[in-house]
Amino acid sequence: MNERWLQVRDRLLAFWNQYNRKQKTVLAVTAVLLLVVIIVLIYLLTRTEYEVAFQNLDNNDAAAIIEHLEGAGVSYRLLNGGTAIAVPSAVADRVRVDVGAQGLIQSGSIGFAELSRSSSALGMTDQEFRVRYRNMLNGEIQQLLEGMTGVQRAKVLVTLPEESVFLNQEERERALASVRLTLKPGFRPTQEQIDSYFNLVKTSVPNLHIEDITITSQYEELQPSARLLGAGGSSGVADTQMEIRRQFENDMKRNIQTFLGRIVGIENMVVSVAAALNFDRKVTQEQLVQPLANNDNRGIVVSEQNTMSTFQGTDGQPGGVVGTGQTDIPNYPAAGGSGTTVSEETSSTINYDYNRIINNIEYGPYRVMDLAVSVAIDSGAVTPESLANIEQMLIQFVRTQLAESGLDLSNQALAERVSVFAQEFTQPPPEPANFFAVWWPALLAGLAAVGAVAAAMAYRRRRQRRLAAEAQALAAAQDEHALELELIRNENMVRRQLEHLAKTKPEDFVSLLRTWLVDE
């Protein structure tokens, strides 16, 4: 055994010593890189990927899930102070289904399903049943609330009145419910969602009224809308108006960023927009009277009446001798004959009318009352001249938005609403890079380089071995040919000597032949 190890060591030393110092360095580096690549590949291919399967757990639920995982032989990790449990990704879906099927997640509450599982064969007293029923009712409502949008955790306390046959409907106490919700970070419920919380609790408890429900969150007390006979009827309108204002500010901000993004770059500026909107509705009715165009300001002929009449008759004419009688007026002619009279009367009545225009004007849902714009630009991306031009552009932008506000729109007044300044931006700290994401291409390149070097060295060794074998074969052939020539040369010399011996000394030649025959 020792001789075999010595032979292996001698072969390794012979293999190592056949290279020069440079080749030995390349071989050593190649071996180290191969070892590193093999270790990394083994780690990546054999490591267990964990996935968060359960989160936001309380102590009881976490303990029940851990007991189930240990009994099933599934590895796990506790995260976030024991409120989250991660399991291998390969079995995460199966574990979720198993835990859900067994009802291990109760969120610190029990439901009506617990009544059938823990029922006693001996029964229970009425008081015990009432206590357990109230706890299970609280648990059911809690589980329902935790399934609502935005609710992370809920705690419910329901107070049920005692039933009595001696009390009428007015004298009986009413049920009460107190709910504390823990909302998810960053979530703010709308009024419709708040009403859904109240409705869920109301319909889960008999004889429970909306005004007897109290729901609070970690931020404030939630109020129902007027539709549910609560005190928060106007909050729905307020939420809508706030959403419109936020949408308007975001649109203005997006417009400014789109314009300045090509000038200074979107990453080199910060834009802030604050707006004051008036949501008062305004309806105006206009009644306009206008004449027709190109009609001498007359209007439209509605009716026209033309009347013409002719009169003809006879009447007395003055004549005779100027009065001289007793009954005559001096110097006045007396009637002394008759005449014919003809007259015509023409009348025209034309009724005109004008254009009557009635405009019912209903203004938009809001009106911009005031607007302020602030823009901070990286000092390295803008010059003072560009800064002044940007400020003028923003002043024109604000003037357009405030055109119907009734405010003073002079440059001096608008300059107080527009702020543009240059400031050196602080670079955020670089995020820690993932080791494998950064070094994976390098490892692949190193592996390819190692493979190329190993292939080149293997080809070189095969070539050297082939050349050495060819050289040895050529040398052997040359030695064999030389030996053959020497043998031929010796045979010729012996033949000549034997011929000379046979001619000069026949007796000695015969004796020599006899000796050879005896030896054979």
For the stretch 214-269, pLDDT in tens is 999 888 888 887 777 644 445 556 767 787 888 888 888 888 888 888 888 888 88
Are 112-231 and 232-288+353-426 the same fold in CATH? yes
- Sequential DSSP letters for 489-506: HHHHHHHHHHHHHHHH-H
Q: Name, in order, each residue with C-beta under 8 angstroms of 274's C-beta and a sequence gap of 6 or more.
A: 249, 371, 372
**pLDDT digits 0-9 by tens, 15-43:** 777 777 777 788 888 888 888 888 888 87
- Using DSSP's 3-state secondary structure scheme, residue 86 falls into strand
Is the pTM value of this prediction over 0.75?
Answer: no
Instruction: Please give the residue that has the higher pLDDT: either 473 or 83.
Output: 83
Q: Name, in order, each residue with C-beta under 8 angstroms of 256's C-beta and a sequence gap of 6 or more.
A: 271, 273, 373, 375, 394, 397
Burial track 439-449 (b if 16+ CB lie within 10 A, e otherwise): eeeebeebbee
Say what the pLDDT of residue 373 is.
92
What CATH number does domain 232-288+353-426 carry, 3.30.300.20, 3.40.1180.10, 3.50.50.60, 3.40.50.300?
Answer: 3.30.300.20
Say what the pLDDT of residue 178 is.
92
Distance CA 442, CA 450 (A): 12
Say what the pLDDT of residue 427 is.
62
Average predicted confidence (pLDDT) for the chain: 76
Distance CA 399, CA 405 (A): 10
Sheet of 77-79, strand order? 50-54, 84-88, 77-79
Q: Does residue 61 contact residue 105 with C-beta atoms inside 8 Å?
A: yes
- DSSP-derived pairing of the beta strands 213-216 and 176-183: parallel
Domain boundaries, the chain: 1-46, 50-102, 112-231, 232-288+353-426, 443-519
What CATH number does domain 112-231 carry, 3.30.420.10, 3.90.25.10, 3.30.70.20, 3.30.300.30?
Answer: 3.30.300.30
pLDDT band at 189 (very low <50, low <70, confident <90, very high): confident
Read off the tokens for 344. 């015509």
pLDDT band at 292 (very low <50, low <70, confident <90, very high): low
Is pLDDT at 404 greater than 70 in this prediction? yes
Sign, Cα dihedral of 107, 109, 112, 118: positive
Distance of CA 165 to the CA centre of its chain: 59
**pLDDT digits 0-9 by tens, 326-361:** 665 665 555 555 567 777 788 888 777 766 777 777
What is the CATH code for 50-102?
Answer: 3.30.70
Say what the pLDDT of residue 431 is.
46
Say what the pLDDT of residue 245 is.
85
Is pLDDT at 496 greater than 80 in this prediction? no
